Structure 1
Amino acid sequence: MKLLQRYILGELIRVFALLVVVLTVMLVFVGLFREATDRGLGPVQIFQIMPFVVPSMLPFTIPATLLLAVCVVYGRISADLEVIAAKAAGISAMRLLMPAFAFGTILAFASFGLTNFAIPWAVANIERIVTQAVEDIFIDMLRTQHLISEPSRGYSITVHDVQDRTLIDATFRFRTYDHRQITVRAEAAQIHFDLDHQQIELKLRNATYSNPGANSFGDWDGTILHLPLPPQIQRTKARHLTIADLTTRTTEAIQEERRVRIQRTNEAAMVMLTGEFHQFGGEQFQQFSGREAEAVHNQRRFRTEIHSRFSMACSCLFFTLVGGPFSMLQARRQFITSFIMCFLPILLIYYPVMFLMVNLCKSGTIDPWWSMWIPNSILLVAGLFTLRKVMQH
């Protein structure tokens, strides 16, 4: 009995390894093309990020590849009448399916590990390479053209020369949040890209500033000037964070919501005291509403990501629960037919329901701790129904 289970497990591992390599290689090229298109990367940067694209593809290829491997192995042994022979020898179908369930459980843990640790690590390295590329492009443009203008970002930089990471005789023109035009002239400025805060840091030396509109000027020696990052660098998404980071950011969002509410309450009390009721419709209270809405949105987004990560990882086990009994019931050597018949309902039901639950959780309509498991519950019901038919016949 153990020999037969080891044989089935070995076949599953062999077929799965072959399929996951082929499918991952195909998706890696898709991922590289997308990164290169979105960020404008050159051949050198594409070659550098290639090793980091693979871990980010695996969590998406593992469930479907596992389902295909299960359909191949169990469809073949069932078509060869090995299942009937095993039942005649007193071996139940459940025991034949145990290797698939065990393998699915192992891959569920592996998928969660990839999602929680490998993907954030890979994305951090990709962002580091992209940041380095953008920084090099930035400095090369300043060195050759002596000018960078970002009208959409509201600033421009003019330099006389560039030495390493230091801008010589630099002039910075930028708009503030209240649309004031500021001009800063510095003898030297060290440039640094801060990816965490999505900004460029410029440490000024022997610098002065002027505001032509207000006829004001002053000394900015030693000041660190912050400018927004170029559009090639993207803000870190929730799916690129670890569970620990998501929990921390959820707590920060809760604290931000409380802080905004306290500030708005205090400001409202002051308005009531002074009788300036027209300020309730002013810009300050609109900013309070915007900050509070953003904090609530971040809470929902991070909580949804945490629960969806566990649910998506466990989908490996539920895929085997559906694919194994279904392939045994079909008893087809043409595994592609069994796979399509099994995967098509998953594609038309499981994933749309998953996306629907994610959107509803992010909007605050339902709670993610139970709703993210609805797609897996659908697979569980379908798998148990199919398994019951296999056990009976």
Structure 2
Amino acid sequence: MLRIKKLDIFIVKSFLMLFIGTFFICLFIFMMQFLWRYVDELVGKGLEMSVMAQFFFYSALTLVPVALPLAVLLASLITFGNFGERYELLAMKAAGISLLKIMRPLIFFVCGLVGVSFYFQNIVAPIAQAKLGTLIISMKQKSPELDIPEGVFYSDIPDYNLKVAKKNRKTGVLYDVMIYNLKDGFENAHIIYADSGRLEMTADKQHLWLHLYDGDLFENLRAQNMKSQNVPYRRESFREKHSIIEFDSEFNMADASIMNNTSSAKNMIALQASIDSMTVLGDSIGRQYYQEISDGNFRAPYGLTKEDTTKIMQADIRSYNMDSLYEVATLMQKQKIITTAVSRAENIGSDLTMKSYTMANNDYSMRKHQTEWHKKITISLSCLLFFFIGAPLGGIIRKGGLGMPVIVSVFVFIIYYIIDNTGYKMARDGKWIVWMGMWTSTAILAPLGAFLTYKSNNDSVVLNADAYINWFKKIAGIRSVRHLFKKEVIIHDPNYQRLPGDLQTLTAECEAYVAKRRLQKPPNYFQLWMSAEKDDEIVHINNHLEGLVEEMSNTESVTLLSALNSYPVIPVTAHMRPFPIYWLNILAGVVFPVGLFFYFRIWIFRVRLAKDMERIMKNNEQVQFIIQNINK
């Protein structure tokens, strides 16, 4: 029987509070990005609050499945980062609880989120997408709110261009008004100039009432064209002029059926039905086009009768010399033959272009439906994938709050978005197989999540910066420097009577090693890779040195500590073969550029080791002198 433990409740509570907060933050960010795309359709049109509320409500419903994966990633990173930073994760593991058991209650919770995401993708989002698409189309069709600027032509009134030099915003009076009435075309524009005027909206909000004072009207009496030099016109002066202009400023909702054929407004059952219908339609059209193209130029649409077609099919074209037939024709017949051939070629080209466009359009629509079908599954599964990335990363990084987790989560999500969007476009455009393009991001994230979960469960240092820094120092030959300080509490004092003899023995070992190894000379290239000998002598010298330094570090003499810091840190394997495996060394020696690189690297380390031996011997003399002064 499954029992809910207090630890599971604690983990779920810690995750749930962060998830709710991060979800609304992510949803708000995506909504702002979505709003920015349609800002031109919203600004300056005087939309009512109810219309704006519907826009934000439907857009939020469509963006819920997109915000869920990022919220899961960010919440899991922060949760397990907080556990690691507060040593709670360490305490759980110390109690014998593995990372997978710690993640188990959240795995069930995230699986529930996968179901919620799929429900929104398959049930809620299609309805919301249809409503939102209809609303956006209606907002695009709505006329903008009347706000005439000063000094520029205003063209948002249909068939009119209006320019105002100055306007009084309190009284609404317009000064130096110039109007171009383009109802009869640009060539027959009616130009009105008035000293002042007023523009008002009628009560039904379907017309504009224009009042003009002290002006003139210019109108051409006949059509004007490019060749016209003198065009008669009519001029009319007026003290007052009033006219009605059609201007529908009401918000009219478009027909909801306009979004019925879009792939984003269908659930999986409707998508599959549409895919099957388009497949059958494409096959039938393709067979029909194939039959028509197979018949070639002998079809009735090209002006040939049935008898002509029969004669041409029965004739052997190879028995006729076409060039000679063409040469004996008259000039008029030649022109007719060429004209007919060109006309038939153009007709065939136009026909094939139309056929290819029809087939390509049907295939494109079918791929869009297929990508939408797969998208409903992949986005839902991304919640689970992001959890298996975020939770192990949080346990490895061990940094909570909104600093490092936000940076890592945004970085991971950007990579996922680039891969997913690339695969989607490749699948939609027919360059990749649909299922391959849509599942590319999942195929990449799943192994990454499994790898991070495995490494975090085994307490790996895969993201420990110090481990990579140390590895780089090892490759580059950068050594650490000793930093010995005076200890506040000393338990065992150094044996100053025995230490001079031990230092003398260390000096003798170093001299013997340098004389035997001849470190200053270049090593034999072939013997370097073939020999499997281990350098146990340098290991012994290094252990002897470190033992003496450790014992003498308990001294109270600052002078002796300063001398101890002058001892080098010896890398005992840097001057040997690079790989512990014998056949890898043979392979490195055979691949000459690689072997040459390691050869010179080993030679440099041998020379440095020889200098380290000399440095140890000189430092031993100095330390012996300091100890003699201490013994006095």
Separation in structure 1 between the aligned mates of residue 71 and residue 25 of structure 2, nearest angstrom: 10
Partner of residue 499, structure 2:
none
- Residues 92-107 of structure 1 correspond to what in structure 2 (within 5 A)? 92-107=98-113
Aligned positions, number? 318
192 and 76 in structure 1: CA distance in 2 versus 1, 3 angstrom threshold: closer
Contact 1:36 1:46 in 2 (8 A): no
Partner of residue 268, structure 2:
243
Where is the strand percentage greater, Structure 1 or Structure 2?
A: 1
Pick the structure with greater CA Rg.
2
Partner of residue 321, structure 1:
388
SS in structure 2 of the partner of residue 359 of structure 1: helix
SS in structure 2 of the partner of residue 90 of structure 1: coil
SS in structure 2 of the partner of residue 196 of structure 1: helix
Separation in structure 2 between the aligned mates of residue 133 and residue 345 of structure 1, nearest angstrom: 36
Partner of residue 456, structure 2:
390
Contact 1:246 1:306 in 2 (8 A): yes
Instruction: Give CA deviations for 1:328-359 in whole Å, capped at 9, x if unaligned.
Output: 112223452134235414423x2222122112
Q: CA RMSD in A?
A: 3.7
Amino acid at match of 1:71: L
TM-score, normalising length from structure 2? 0.45
Separation in structure 2 between the aligned mates of residue 241 and residue 39 of structure 1, nearest angstrom: 26
Contact 1:264 1:285 in 2 (8 A): no
Instruction: Give CA deviations for 1:200-238 in whole Å, capped at 9, x if unaligned.
Output: xxxxxxxxxxxxxxxxxxxxxxxxxxxxxxxxxxx9643
The one of 56, 66, 78 equivalent to 1:50 is: 56
Separation in structure 2 between the aligned mates of residue 76 and residue 301 of structure 1, nearest angstrom: 42
The CA deviation at 1:8 is: 0.7
Amino acid at match of 1:86: M
The answer to which of 105-114 and 370-379 deviates more is: 370-379
The CA deviation at 1:103 is: 2.3
Contact 1:20 1:61 in 2 (8 A): yes
Partner of residue 598, structure 2:
none
101 and 196 in structure 1: CA distance in 2 versus 1, 3 angstrom threshold: same
Partner of residue 378, structure 1:
444
120 and 71 in structure 1: CA distance in 2 versus 1, 3 angstrom threshold: same
Where is the helix percentage greater, Structure 1 or Structure 2?
A: 1
Partner of residue 59, structure 1:
65
Partner of residue 31, structure 1:
34
The CA deviation at 1:193 is: 5.4
265 and 279 in structure 1: CA distance in 2 versus 1, 3 angstrom threshold: farther
Q: Does the alignment pair 1:300 with 2:346?
A: no
Partner of residue 218, structure 1:
none
Contact 1:71 1:335 in 2 (8 A): no
The one of 6, 10, 21 equivalent to 1:3 is: 6
Separation in structure 1 between the aligned mates of residue 104 and residue 436 of structure 2, nearest angstrom: 27
Q: Does the alignment pair 1:259 with 2:284?
A: yes
Q: What is the percent sequence identity of the aligned residues?
A: 20
Partner of residue 12, structure 1:
15
Partner of residue 319, structure 2:
none
Contact 2:73 2:387 in 1 (8 A): yes
Separation in structure 2 between the aligned mates of residue 62 and residue 271 of structure 1, nearest angstrom: 59
Instruction: Give CA deviations for 1:264-315 in whole Å, capped at 9, x if unaligned.
Output: 2443337424594647624333222110111111122211221122112100
Amino acid at match of 2:12: L
Separation in structure 1 between the aligned mates of residue 89 and residue 253 of structure 2, nearest angstrom: 65
Amino acid at match of 2:16: I
Partner of residue 22, structure 1:
25
Contact 2:138 2:253 in 1 (8 A): no
66 and 132 in structure 1: CA distance in 2 versus 1, 3 angstrom threshold: same
Q: Does the alignment pair 1:120 with 2:126?
A: yes
Q: Does the alignment pair 1:91 with 2:97?
A: yes
Amino acid at match of 2:374: H
334 and 16 in structure 1: CA distance in 2 versus 1, 3 angstrom threshold: closer
For structure 1, the 5+ residue unaligned runs are 139-146, 150-155, 157-163, 165-190, 199-234
Separation in structure 2 between the aligned mates of residue 355 and residue 361 of structure 1, nearest angstrom: 10
Separation in structure 1 between the aligned mates of residue 447 and residue 296 of structure 2, nearest angstrom: 58
The CA deviation at 1:12 is: 1.2
